[in-house]
Amino acid sequence: MPRVPSLAPALALTLALGFATGPLAPGARAADPGGAVIGDADEGLQVIVGPGGTSFESLAVPDARCVGGADAAACQELMSVIRRDMTISFFFSVIPTRSYLVSSEEEPLATPSFPDWNNIGAAYLIKGEVSGAGPYKVELRLYSVASKSVVPVDEQSFSDVAKGGLRSVAHRFCNAVLKARTGKPGVFDTRIAYDRKLALGVKGVGVVDMDGHNRSVLISNGSINMLPAWGFGGLMYTSFVGGFPELYFGKRKLSRDTGHYRKVAVSPDGGRLVASVSYGGQSDLYLLSKDGQVVKNLTNSEADEVSPTFSPDGGRIAYVSSAAGSPQIYVMAVDGGGGSRLTHAGGYNYAPDWGSNGLIAFAAMDDGASDIFTVTEGGEINRVTQNQGSNKDPSWSRDGRYIAFVSARPEGNGIYIASADGRYQILVSKGGGYGSLAWER
């Protein structure tokens, strides 16, 4: 990781506290991702494959067979969601539907024409059947084309499925497909929270499904709302609706004093809250009770400490500190004290998020652009993005497979998802103004 110059403390603190309201300047870095682009153009998805990327398993996903009065739109929607999930999985390469030799209406669910699927290069096949006029009965199957056999999947039969429930059924099946192939279920039913600029001086907090659908703003009150964090079955965030930054849970104010609250983190077991709070001076990390009472100052120092994130076991906290003169990533015990510096390369490291795989994702400024990195507790750093515009605000999926982040690049601005090593990346929600991602866990 190249050494970068330190920035003015005021600017460093602004970014560390999350006040950057929009994406960083497009085109600040060279735009060649250094790899190929694959995917089914019919679905509007393109996977950027970086250097060292391995081959995906080829997968065919024809439209579902409609029986018993089921409408074609329902059959098409079900399989379209499955194609999108499987593309985002970075495990399968979905063969474009225009290449298929078999009619989904003519081929029974239980007896695929394996030679025809083998002839188009499919290693695996997902077939579906939707019956009834709604609520539906849905049957889905995963087949190995090479062995001409069905692959057992935990969730593949669904009954009483409402018209609005087809997306959920597709996500559940795809989660089970990944479990069948890798031993670990997928996370296609999860959401990503974000803050987003809505107008001059106005930011809202919203959510979007992992696959980029169902984007909605949950908090919009004409003020600045930012820095969302999942916990207690909902979203916490910082709001200026009362005139200064206070902590909210849903529409209920959680902070209970005159401190200025920014980023909050909830431990994996839900038993602890840690927030960055300032009382007229620098920001420190404070342990809070579930009802918002300040319990303990964890970092009583002259430096600014912000952006806490819990380790997978809840025993440690990673955070950003200006103790070294510029933002760097530090780690300390959850009860405070003994903070040790983790990042030594780079002069501007911020926005850490600790994943279930033990890796801490963070963003770092370099030559005017921001990129995503991961670091182990031993200090070993891996670069996730490079020469791909400007990238910030990483957040891990709960299974540790993926990192979501905000990117401004020629392929499109918006929320991207990358594999943990950065070899595969995909734009899932296009648009500007996103920030402060938090993946539902």
pLDDT tens per residue across span 163-188: 899 999 999 999 999 999 999 999 99
Share of the chain above pLDDT 90, in %: 76
Confidence of residue 312 (pLDDT cuts 50, 70, 90): very high
From the list 208, 201, 202, 200, the residue with the least C-alpha distance to 235 is 208
Handedness of CA 276, 235, 249, 196 (dihedral sign): positive
Per-residue pLDDT, averaged over 350-355, amounts to: 97
Inform me whether the pLDDT recorded for 102 exceeds 90: no
Confidence of residue 5 (pLDDT cuts 50, 70, 90): very low
Exposure string over 11-46, b if 16+ CB within 10 A, otherwise e? ebbebbbbebbebbebebbeeebebeebbbeebebb
Pick the residue with more confidence: 10 or 402? Answer: 402
Would you state the torsion angle of the CA atoms of residues 27, 29, 32, 37, taken in this order, to the nearest 10 degrees?
Answer: -70
In which region does residue 201 sit, left (phi positive, over 0), alpha (psi from -120 to 50) or beta (all else)?
left
Global pTM?
0.88
Region of poorest pLDDT, from 8-22, 298-312, 342-356: 8-22
Q: What is the DSSP pairing of strand 57-60 with strand 434-439?
A: unpaired
Give the pLDDT score at 267: 94
pLDDT tens per residue across span 406-418: 999 988 999 999 9
Domains of the chain (ranges; CATH) run 9-34+201-439 (2.120.10.30), 57-182 (3.40.50.10070)
> If you average pLDDT over every residue of the chain, what do you get?
87
Share of the chain above pLDDT 70, in %: 88
Inform me whether the pLDDT recorded for 4 exceeds 50: no
Structure letter (DSSP) for residue 187: -
pLDDT tens per residue across span 353-387: 999 999 999 999 977 889 999 999 999 999 999 98
Give the pLDDT score at 44: 60
Pick the residue with more confidence: 330 or 369? Answer: 330
Exposure of 165 by Cβ count < 10 A (0-12 exposed, 13-18 middle, 19+ buried)? middle
Inform me whether the pLDDT recorded for 10 exceeds 50: no
Measured CA to CA, the distance from residue 374 to residue 359 in angstroms comes to: 6
Q: What is the DSSP pairing of strand 381-383 with strand 369-375?
A: antiparallel
Paired strand residues for 57: 92
Per-residue pLDDT, averaged over 259-274, amounts to: 94
Measured CA to CA, the distance from residue 58 to residue 348 in angstroms comes to: 41
Q: What is the DSSP pairing of strand 340-341 with strand 349-354?
A: unpaired
pLDDT tens per residue across span 216-258: 999 999 999 999 999 999 999 999 999 999 999 998 999 999 9
Give the pLDDT score at 347: 86
Give the pLDDT score at 29: 25
Q: What are the strands, taking DSSP E only, across 232-334?
A: 234-239, 246-249, 252-253, 260-266, 273-278, 283-288, 294-297, 305-310, 316-321, 328-333
Pick the residue with more confidence: 5 or 248? Answer: 248
Give the pLDDT score at 12: 35
